[in-house]
Amino acid sequence: MILGPSGSVKTTLLRILAGLEIPAKGSVAIGDKEVVNAEKGVFVEPQDRNIGMVFQTWALYPHMTVYENIAFPLELKGVPRKEIDKRVRDVAEALGIADLLDRKPSQISGGQQQRVALARALVKQPDVLLLDEPFSNLDARIRVAAREFVKEIQKKLGITTILVTHDQADAFSVGDRIMILKDGSIQQVGSPEDLLDKPENMFIANFIGDPPMNMCELPAGHQIAERLKLNMEGLNKIIIGIRPDDALAVDTGEGHLAGKATMIEYVGSRRYAKVDLGDGIVLKVLAESNIAQGHSVKVKIRKLHVFSLDGKRLKSVTL
């Protein structure tokens, strides 16, 4: 999984893997086969890489039936007609579109068109499947089902799959291992849990998570740093990051910090309070059901992250 904001060269990287772009330097290997080595002049043509690719726009041929769209890459390779028919029907059955083979793309839904595009990529029996923002053209409800479907198919077929997206929900739903890019540079590679619990820097901490992480700049001796018993790591200032789901506003009992709830809001089924701690510091945190706007509250913190002013994570602290 490749995740990053617009302009982080996600699609360019995918096109390099597919052989649609030629890098100025570096190398690419698929399995034990080197397909690109700029320094040695090695470049294996796209059609010889055995890669399946699904584009963001799906790129189905409108004048062809679903069957013809799926069969097209096999016809280009000169696969015998009997073998084409078997492979088309097998993949259509696996993807639940066997009853659509005689229809044109304009006669099926967006979700069904996505499955046809995926079938066309899989019918080649590729070594690697590349997906470029495959869910971006789907509405919200179909998008959720499509994520689940792609993950199920990937696990069922066991094909190495690389999906690029700017949407962390796509990445977290489908990806087992995620690489985060920013401006063409790799920021971190890890599981969804790694990225949430141990972000390497403030960019990742801010980019990952919904709602976004609370960030507070604290000078040495600040009461919040002292209440949380934070080691300043010898710095005059640090930045602490607290994910909203790692803190809870309560109106009775013990808490790490005290403040006032200035707003209550819902994000899906979760209930949050904005808590003013003074000194211009406001945290968004989970809120117990009895917390209301204007209430004095205590904030219990489960976990926080400490960053230097240049954005590097110094440590994560469980309280």
The residue ranges of every structural domain in the chain are 2-197, 213-318
Superfamily of domain 213-318: Nucleic acid-binding proteins (2.40.50.140)
Confidence of residue 64 (pLDDT cuts 50, 70, 90): very high
Of 305, 311, 15, 55, give the one whose Cα is nearest residue 182: 311
Q: What is the pLDDT of residues 175-196, one digit of tens each?
A: 999 999 999 999 999 999 999 9
Q: What is the pLDDT of residues 130-155, one digit of tens each?
A: 999 888 777 777 788 778 888 888 88
The whole-number pLDDT of residue 138 equals 75
SS3 content of the chain, % helix, strand, coil (to 5): 30, 30, 35
- State the chain's mean pLDDT as an integer: 92
Query: What CATH code would you report for 2-197?
Result: 3.40.50.300
pLDDT of residue 159 exceeding 80, the answer is yes
Determine how many CB atoms are found less than 10 A away from the CB of residue 80: 9
End-to-end Cα, the chain, rounded Å: 32
Calculate the dihedral angle through the C-alpha atoms of 187, 191, 194, 196, rounding to the nearest 10 degrees: 90
Q: Crossing angle for the helix pair 110-122 and 140-157, nearest 10 degrees?
A: 20
**Residue range 63-81: average pLDDT?**
95
**Residue range 34-50: average pLDDT?**
93
**Residue range 13-36: average pLDDT?**
93
Calculate the dihedral angle through the C-alpha atoms of 305, 306, 307, 308, rounding to the nearest 10 degrees: 180
The region, left, alpha or beta by phi > 0 then psi within -120 to 50, assigned to residue 29 is: beta
The whole-number pLDDT of residue 140 equals 76
The whole-number pLDDT of residue 182 equals 94
DSSP 106-170: GGS-HHHHHHHHHHHHHTT--SEEEEESTTTTS-HHHHHHHHHHHHHHHHHHT-EEEEEES-HHH
Q: Which segments of 143-295 are extended strands (E)? A: 160-165, 178-182, 185-190, 214-219, 237-242, 247-250, 257-267, 270-278, 281-287
Q: Which of 141-155, 167-181, 233-247 has the lowest mean pLDDT?
A: 141-155
Q: What is the pLDDT of residues 82-95, one digit of tens each?
A: 999 999 999 998 88
Cβ proximity of 94 and 127 under 8 Å? no
Give the pair of three-digit tokens for residue 255: 């808490």
The whole-number pLDDT of residue 157 equals 79
* CA separation for the pair 172, 263 (Å, rounded): 29
